Structure 1
Amino acid sequence: MVKITIMGASGTIGKTVAFNLAEKDVIDEIIMFSRPSSHERVKGEILDMYDALAAEDIDCELKASSDYADLAGSSIVLITSGVPRKEGMSRLDLAVPNSKIVQEYSKQIAIHAPDSVILIVTNPVDVMTSIALKTSGFDKKRVIGLGNHLDSLRLKTLLSQHFHINSREIHTRVIGEHGDHMVPLLSSTTIGGILLKSFVEYMDLDVPKLVETLKNSGNNIISKKGATEYGPSYAISNLILTIANDTRKILTVSTYLEGEVEGVYDVSLGVPVILCKHGIKRIVPLKMNDEERTEFFDAARTVKKTTYELEKMLNKE
């Protein structure tokens, strides 16, 4: 039996993930956890979802809860709760209020669902991944951040649209920080098995503009509709289903590094990993060119500094 708990289920991302997972008909039970003040609204969301699922003959059990005891038996606990990002606000601006939420939830997960995998979506996700890891006391393989998985999907879309090629033919990856210090690995990107730099049409690609567009993707959406919704929700669902089904895909998530990539340590960053039912099976080695390596080190310094300052503040309280 596969049981998933979504903490922050009253929010747009939380409820969209819940419905997407239920619709796939491979999850047995989904706990939609929220604050008591949102409990009735979540119950309403569930009734609405049941009506839709009935049309597809899907029997996934959905339950609204504000009781930490209901986390028991969860295979995966998703933390989406936090102050939402607004236009012009960096993910790092969210660090202080969101760290307190992630810290409290991580403590409760350790008590009530000690064998689960924790998946962090709350921003700044790389910093929050380290907070959740150290607070829960879990093995780092079982504490994962959404990281650059969404960024990688966005880059894939941009390249697909530029070259007018089916996105299935494009294999690319973004690593580093889920933020301004993300690192697109264009040196190892392939189209139809051909390295991007060897692709004739690559000469027409404005790389600086591409990278800038990629970095501003989230803000661009927020400026137009107020929040990101479908992209993050489906990227999160993709990670959850990969773990739940033990499909062992290589995806780019945020994980705590201890020297596995370029000797970087004591910081959570997005890197390619093999995901399995126990969380991260292993980090996948990768090669970068000199420019990418420099950018990756910059990401490590930035996220490590923010994490250190945040932990120092939390320890004083």
Structure 2
Amino acid sequence: MRKKVTIVGAGNVGATAAHWIASKELADVVLIDVVEGVPQGKGLDLLEAMPIEKRDAHILGTNDYADTANSDIVVITAGIARKPGMSRDDLLQTNYKIMSDVVGKAIAASPDCILIIVSNPLDAMAQTAYRQAKFNRNRVIGMAGVLDSARFRTFIAEELKVSVENVTAFVLGGHGDTMVPLARYSTVAGIPITELIPKERLDAIVQRTRDGGAEIVKYLKTGSAYYAPSAAAVEMVEAILKDKKKILPCAAFLEGEYGISGYYIGVPCKLGARGLEQIIEIRLTPEEEAALKKSAEAVKELCAVIGV
């Protein structure tokens, strides 16, 4: 029997995640959205591509959570983007209500699922889902670090003109301006990038990584990134469904790790069949530790606004 993955939100990120999952033949996919017709149309279109791609994955678009029953993983991309004139707190309150609603409905249909949160602001939305679901922390994981580290790896590979397969990179902290790309732990074929890239160039690459989402928004003008964010979520889905024990940077609920308790922060996580199976603690320099604490403070502020 094939695995089942539900994706909540049939916008660009959700629909593209469905595409990646089906094209990799990882699971059957249910694409759900409040808008009538959109998930049905996108789901059917994708289903009709399967004979061409020679993939036996079933895709169903729906507005009914009954169709999502007994999902192994639920990926939540639902939420609104910030509109002109809207404050960050307004966005936070709106997406908090959406997240609370969809988590309640999703877990009622799939009480044993693992939740992967993609909606922004990521860390606060993961915290919202965790509080709402009342699951163990291993079953609610936020997607941010996989995307941020992919951007970091892209820019490193471009700078050195090497294969992206040679590049490993780590990013800690919250998803946004306070993220902490760790150059010391980032390598090209095992060689630390600090040995290969001058500091001023590396600083510029780190800054571009922090601004990665904003750079794409600037180009698109009326939208935001979706290919890389959806691919990042699907890498997490694959690690869990295949029990890979893969170490990926994810937002996890910390209980004393890195000296932080009670909040979702991006850290190296081992993902397997049980979801978050281990948080890997690495030694940080005082400067890196201070940057991570600053990132945690930014997450705390957001969580305080919505009371989670």
1:105 aligns with 2:102: yes
1:147 aligns with 2:148: no
Contact 1:156 1:172 in 2 (8 A): yes
Contact 2:80 2:91 in 1 (8 A): yes
Counterpart-to-counterpart distance in 1, 2:6 and 2:114:
10
Which residue in 1 is equivalent to 2:53?
56
Could you list the runs of 4 or more consecutive aligned residues of structure 1 that deviate by over 4 angstroms after TM superposition? 85-93
> Offset of 1:52 from its aligned partner?
1.7
Which residue in 1 is equivalent to 2:304?
308
Equivalent residues in 2 for 1:173-252, closer than 5 Å: 173-197=170-194, 199=195, 201-203=196-198, 205-225=200-220, 226-252=223-249
Equivalent residues in 2 for 1:1-317, closer than 5 Å: 1-9=2-10, 11-27=11-27, 29-35=28-34, 38-85=35-82, 94-197=91-194, 199=195, 201-203=196-198, 205-225=200-220, 226-261=223-258, 263-311=259-307
Counterpart-to-counterpart distance in 2, 1:32 and 1:138:
23
Contact 1:94 1:123 in 2 (8 A): no
Give the unaligned 5+ runs of structure 2.
none
Shift of the 62–164 alpha-carbon distance from structure 1 to 2, 3 Å rule, reads: same
Counterpart-to-counterpart distance in 2, 1:309 and 1:50:
41
Count residues with an aligned counterpart: 305
Counterpart-to-counterpart distance in 2, 1:4 and 1:121:
14
Deviations 1:43-91 (A, max 9, x none): 2212221232111222211112222222221000011000124699897
Give 3-state SS (helix, strand or coil) of 2:60's partner: strand
> Offset of 1:207 from its aligned partner?
3.0
Contact 1:146 1:254 in 2 (8 A): yes
Corresponding letter in the other structure for 1:237: V
Contact 2:42 2:61 in 1 (8 A): no
Contact 1:187 1:288 in 2 (8 A): no
Corresponding letter in the other structure for 1:19: H
Counterpart-to-counterpart distance in 1, 2:279 and 2:180:
17
Counterpart-to-counterpart distance in 1, 2:173 and 2:295:
6
Counterpart-to-counterpart distance in 1, 2:157 and 2:240:
27
Give 3-state SS (helix, strand or coil) of 2:284's partner: coil
Q: Which moved more, 1:283-292 or 1:133-142?
A: 283-292
Output the aligned Cα RMSD.
Answer: 1.9
Counterpart-to-counterpart distance in 1, 2:84 and 2:230:
19
Q: Identity of paired residues, percent?
A: 32
Tell me the TM-score normalized by structure 2: 0.93
